[in-house]
């Protein structure tokens, strides 16, 4: 059964809300137990299963201060959505292997999210505008 746009919006907004509060447990609760979590281009490759996504979120929350995500556009299909957003905050750690030094950071994200029938995230693919990050966090 296809989910409604409202059901998908509710879940992805909940997921982003947990991310904005650096709440690892909350984020993991939005993921299906057998989730495929894929940060495209990551040397580690995709992870499989909710618990295997934990390390990514723990690292991400250490590297980026609780930021703000602003949705620019969403496209919908049967039980999936594509979300184009902008993340804005600070980089106290080493986001994506780049020394942040606490500098301000703003970049685009593209999420492709597939949902289970009960609106949990079963696949999360994320594309990050790394070129923009490199411009803002140059090696010094």
pLDDT at 51: 93
The pair phi, psi for residue 55, each rounded to 5°, is: -60, -40
- In three-state secondary structure terms, 70 is strand
Sheet holding 47-48, edge to edge: 47-48, 31-39, 121-128, 103-115, 80-91, 68-77
Q: Which CATH number fits domain 5-136: 3.30.540.10, 1.10.150.20, 3.10.450.50, 3.30.56.10?
A: 3.10.450.50
pLDDT averaged per 10 residues in sequence order, the chain, 140 residues: 90 93 95 96 90 92 87 96 96 91 95 96 96 88
pLDDT at 43: 82
DSSP-assigned beta bridge partners for residue 128: 109
**CA separation, residue 14 to residues 41, 75, 91, 128, 135 (Å):** 25, 18, 23, 20, 30
């Amino acid at each position: 059964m296809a989910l409604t746009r409202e059901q998908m919006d509710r879940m992805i907004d909940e997921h982003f809300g947990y991310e904005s509060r650096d709440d690892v447990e909350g984020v993991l609760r939005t993921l299906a137990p057998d989730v495929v979590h894929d940060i495209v281009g990551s040397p580690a490759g995709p992870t499989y299963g909710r618990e295997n996504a934990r390390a990514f979120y723990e690292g991400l929350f250490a590297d980026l201060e609780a930021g703000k995500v602003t949705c620019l556009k969403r496209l919908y299909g049967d039980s999936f959505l594509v979300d184009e957003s902008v993340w804005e905050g600070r980089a106290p750690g080493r986001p994506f292997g780049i020394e942040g030094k606490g500098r301000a950071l703003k970049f685009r994200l593209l999420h492709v999210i597939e949902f289970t029938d009960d609106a949990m995230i079963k696949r999360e693919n994320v594309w990050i505008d790394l070129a923009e990050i490199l411009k803002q966090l140059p090696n010094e």
